Structure 1
Amino acid sequence: MKTHGFFAESAEAPLKPFSFDRRDVRSNDVAIEILYCGVCHSDLHQARNDWSNTLYPSVPGHEIVGRVTDVGSDVTRFRVGDRVAVGCMVDSCSHCDQCRQGDEQYCREGATWTYNGIDRITKEVTFGGYARHIVVRDDFVLSVPDSLDLSRVAPILCAGITTYSPLRFRNVGPGSRVGVAGLGGLGHMAVKLATGLGADVTVISRSKSKEGSALALGAGGFLVSTDSQAMKEAAGSFDLIIDTIPVQHDVSEFFPLVDIDGAIVMVGQLGATPAFNTSPLLIGRRQLAGSIIGGIAQTQELLDFCGRKNILADCEMIRMEEINDAFVRLEKGDVHYRFVIDMASFTEMV
């Protein structure tokens, strides 16, 4: 299948139009016309080779929403015209212990990522959702509830599941005291989802500038981390803190905020952190953990949950040709709260 997208040919080059072939539909594949694709901070890192592993040419995008255009002969769950989504993974080994328990993101053989991965059959580099079409193994395709606005679903596939997974793993529900550190693409979804689960939610930020936004999203409290007295008074007041901050920071400043047996789960920053004193962890039997996305079943659970609760991302819609400007703004944190590409704009260009 011939399709069109935007790609990075090097770490220094801006993204530009690109024509390429998607694979023919296999017996267990679903072909999708992409309608919307979210813009994740990971897309920016990958395009610029910030993690030193980018395979060029690179077509980013792993927050994909569209409609089915074709299905393989063995596919029974989807039909042409269905509203579907694809997240960060398009395949896994399917037989290791992690895959069997529904945690394909931790596949022992390595999950196949939606872009910058290696197709398990052809060994070709996978290309993501900054394109008009994609072909995906049916087990990694998700159904989008009819009640959800398709234009605002895409960020749920990454920002949503990244924050929902640790909330579910820690059994967050009514009475849970949840702190959300950072209020960007991940943080705003964490607030909505934790609130939807019935938790008492407080946003933790360095200044009061985002207090109004935090409360509007559903948070019941706001804590300024640079206010030493407020931080002291908040000691032991959280069962769980979801740390969504994407840049290097001192996570240890949050340790005293967590109650005994509570946890801080890092989902934002990827890389080295400043050294910290372990004493507060040991003394409070606190935990510092990490988490990446969620399995396919849990992501479908999340979409269904969002459908029941009408939880959607707050998005700024952009045209495909605006992606380079969006990357500049994303790097500055100048987005409310997530960019989403309207792929119809790209149809007009080709």
Structure 2
Amino acid sequence: MKTVGYAAHSNNAHMAPYHFERRDLRANDVAIEILYSGVCHSDLHTVNGDWGPQPYPLVPGHEIVGVVTAVGEDVKNYKVGQNVAVGCMVDSCQECDQCHHHEEQFCRNGMTPTYGAPDRISGEITQGGYSKHIVVREEFVLRVPEGMDLAKTAPILCAGITTYSPLRTWGVKEGSRVGVIGLGGLGHMAVKLAVAMGAEVTTISRSNKKEAEAKAMGAKGILVSTDAPAMKAARSSFDLIIDTAPVKHDVGAYAPLLDIDGTIVVVGQVGPLDELMSVPLVMGRRRVAGSLIGGIKETQEVLDFCAEHGVYPECEMIKMDQINSAFDTLAKGYTL
């Protein structure tokens, strides 16, 4: 299938139109016309080569919403004309314990990311959602619930599942005390999802300039991390902190905010963190953990949850030819 997308041809993150071929439909494949693709901070990191060398030309995009245009002969769950979605991965071995436990992101043999990795069968490099079409194995296609706003659904496939999964894993429920570090793409979804679960949510930021925004999303307010007296007063006040900061920072500075047996879950930063002091961890049996997106079953669960509770990301719509200015904004726009 001939298609066109926007690709990075080197590590300067400058995107340009790119004509390429999608693979022929296999028996278990779904062909999708892409209607919307979210722009994720990890797209910028990847095309810049921040996480290692990349197989350019590279079409990013792993927050994909579209409509089925064709299905392979063995496909059972999807039909032409159906609204569907694709997230951060498009294949896994389907045979290991993690795949059997619906945790394909931890596949023992390595999951296949939506872009930038060899296809498990053909070896060709996967290309993502900044394009007109995509072909994906049925098991990695998701159903978009009836009535969802398609224009606002795409970021749920990454920012949504990345924050939903630790909220579920660490048992957030009515009355849980949740802190969220940062109010960017990941952070604002963490706030909205935790609020919808019934938690008492506080945004943690270096300033209070987004306090009205946080409260509008259901947070009780902002804890200013540069305010030493406020940080001291907030010690032992959270059961869980979702850390969405995508830059190197001092995770340990937030550890005293956790109650005994509390956990900070890092979902933003990929790479080295500042040196971690063990004292607040040891003295409160506190934990620092990490979390990677979620499995396909859980990703379907977050789509259904968002549909049921009316949870959507804050979205700014752009045309595909505006992607370079969007990347510029991402590169300079993050603050804790």
TM band (smaller chain): over 0.9
- Measured in 1, the distance between the counterparts of 2:205 and 2:91 equals 37
What letter corresponds to residue 34 of structure 2 in structure 1?
A: I
In the TM superposition, residue 2 of structure 1 has moved relative to its aligned partner by 0.3
1:159 and 2:162 matched: no
Question: Aligned residue for 1:267?
Answer: 267
Q: What percentage of residue pairs aligned between the two structures are identical?
A: 62
Q: Cα distance, 1:148 vs. partner?
A: 1.2
> For 1:53 and 1:289, how far apart are their aligned partners in 2?
27
Q: CA deviation at 1:334?
A: 7.0
**Distance apart, 1:146 and its partner CA:** 1.6
Whether 2:229 is the aligned partner of 1:233: answer no
How far apart, in 2, do the equivalents of 1:334 and 1:107 lie? 31
After superposition, residues 99-178 of structure 1 pair within 5 angstroms as 99-178=99-178
User: Contact 2:13–2:44 (CA<8 Å) still a contact in 1?
Assistant: no
CA contact (8 A) 1:204 1:224 kept: yes
Q: Aligned runs of 1:178-327 on 2, under 5 Å? A: 178-327=178-327
**Partner of 1:56 in structure 2?**
56
CA distance in 2: counterparts of 1:126 and 1:302, whole angstroms: 25
Query: What letter corresponds to residue 116 of structure 1 in structure 2?
Result: G
CA distance in 1, matches of 2:312, 2:330: 20
- Is 1:90 the equivalent of 2:90? yes
Closer/same/farther in 2, CA of residues 147 and 13 from structure 1, 3 Å limit: closer
Distance (whole Å) between structure 2 residues aligned to residue 115 and residue 283 of structure 1:
43
The answer to whether the 8 Å contact 1:84/1:144 transfers is: yes
Q: Aligned with 1:209: secondary structure? A: coil
- The alignment's C-alpha RMSD in Å is 1.0
1:22 aligned partner = 22
- Runs of 4+ aligned residues of structure 1 deviating over 4 Å after TM superposition are none
Which amino acid in 1 is paired with 2:273?
Answer: T
| Offset, 1:13 | 5.8
SS in 2 for 1:306: helix
Q: Is the 8 A contact 1:148 1:312 kept in 2?
A: no
**Which amino acid letter does the alignment assign opposite residue 214 of structure 2?**
A
Q: CA deviation at 1:318?
A: 0.4
Distance in 2 (CA, whole Å) between partners of 1:240 and 1:48 is 32
- For 2:304 and 2:202, the matched residues in 1 are separated by 25
Cα 1:271–1:20 shift into 2, 3 Å: same
Task: State how far apart, in whole Å, the 2-side matches of 1:102 and 1:94 are.
Answer: 9
- Does structure 2 conserve the Cα–Cα contact (< 8 Å) formed by 1:147 and 1:310? no
Query: Structure 1, residues 161-202: CA drift from partner, whole Å, max 9, x if none?
Result: 000000000110101000000000000000000001111100
Per-residue Cα deviation, 1:222-250 (whole angstroms, up to 9, x for no partner):
20111111111100000000000111111
What runs of 5+ residues in structure 1 fail to find an aligned partner?
336-350
What is the CA–CA distance in structure 1 between the aligned matches of 2:53 and 2:165, rounded to whole Å?
26
Letter in 2 for 1:44: L
| Change in 2 beyond 3 A, CA 1:242/1:322 | same
The secondary structure found in structure 1 opposite 2:90 is strand
Contact 1:98 1:104 in 2 (8 A): yes
Does residue 11 of the first structure (1) align with residue 11 of the second (2)? yes
CA shift at 1:221, angstroms? 2.6
SS at match of 1:65: strand
Conserved 8 A contact 1:98-1:108: yes
SS of residue paired to 1:81? coil
Tell me by how many angstroms 1:12 deviates: 2.4
Aligned residues: 335
CA contact (8 A) 2:8 2:47 kept: yes
* C-alpha spacing 1:334/1:268, structure 2 compared with 1 (3 Å): closer
CA distance 1:154–1:13, change in 2 (3 Å)? closer
* Aligned 8 A contact 2:31 2:70 in 1: yes
What is the alpha-carbon distance in structure 2 between the residues aligned to residue 71 and residue 81 of structure 1?
11
Deviation at 1:34, TM superposition (A): 0.1
**3-state DSSP of counterpart to 2:318:** strand
| Counterpart Cα distance in 1 of 2:29 and 2:49 | 30
